[in-house]
A and B are shown apart, each in its own frame.
Chain A
């Protein structure tokens, strides 16, 4: 068994790219959402719900949250890797973060497609 320093698992460049693709999509969605929300006739339940009842808006919104969860996974994982050194605690935090984010995405999906 050769002992060597592992200097990379090669997920770095993929994560780097995904972090930027998801960011770009979220920025685009933010502008679309801000425009749609600010041009609502009135902030009532009826208008608000109508905004998210369109199939296209539901898809775009879901893609936003999916991007957010992937983006947050990479970002929060990096925070744990930078500051939490004990391996056990770090792995526990990674697992908790991943499970939470998957749960959040499922929650959003339920909210959107129940409309």
Chain B
């Protein structure tokens, strides 16, 4: 029978005190954006359904996405998608052992945050 050893390790999980490094921020935002996209998936499929079914439902779709509050939600989801997309590409490259050293990893984390925000602004302004 296997013996399991329980090591006493110091725990430090005070979220107000932890200073998350940039790659850590990208990582947790990857999870948050993914979870957010999952929660809003039925709403997005509903819009997709409306937009395709008939000219009448297309008009309904346009009325819904024309509302400023809905636009704000969609803007948030656009950011979530773009962040998840960019961070995902970064993770794929890390899997291939590209940029795993500390400095390149910090750099790429910064690039992910900036590119996804910039694309959100560009596409957001253009689509609004």
A47-84: which residues lie under 8 A (CB-CB) from chain B? 48-49, 52, 68, 72, 75-76, 79
In this complex, how many residues of chain B approach chain A with their Cβ under 8 Å: the count is 24
Question: A residues within 8 A CB of B128?
Answer: none
Asked whether B48 lies within 8 Å of A111 as measured between CB atoms, the reply is: yes
Question: A residues within 8 A CB of B101?
Answer: none
Asked whether A111 lies within 8 Å of B41 as measured between CB atoms, the reply is: no
> Contacts A48-B52, A111-B49; is A5 near B95 (CB within 8 Å)?
no
Asked whether B31 lies within 8 Å of A111 as measured between CB atoms, the reply is: no
Of B1, B31, B42, B58, the residue contacting A45 (CB under 8 A) is B58
> Contacts A23-B88, A79-B31, A104-B45; is A4 near B52 (CB within 8 Å)?
no
Asked whether B49 lies within 8 Å of A75 as measured between CB atoms, the reply is: no
Question: B residues within 8 A CB of A49?
Answer: 52
Residue of A whose beta carbon sits closest to that of B50? A111
How many A-B contacts are there with CB distance less than 8 Å? 53
Asked whether B38 lies within 8 Å of A72 as measured between CB atoms, the reply is: yes
Residue of A whose beta carbon sits closest to that of B34? A75
Chain A residues with a Cβ under 8 A of chain B: 2-5, 20, 23-24, 27, 30, 45, 48-49, 52, 68, 72, 75-76, 79, 100, 104, 107-108, 111, 114-115
Sample of 18 A–B contacts (CB below 8 Å): A5-B2, A20-B92, A20-B95, A27-B88, A27-B89, A30-B85, A45-B54, A45-B55, A48-B52, A52-B52, A72-B37, A72-B38, A75-B35, A76-B34, A79-B35, A104-B45, A108-B48, A114-B53
Q: Which of A45, A75, A79, A115 has the most CB of B within 10 A?
A: A45
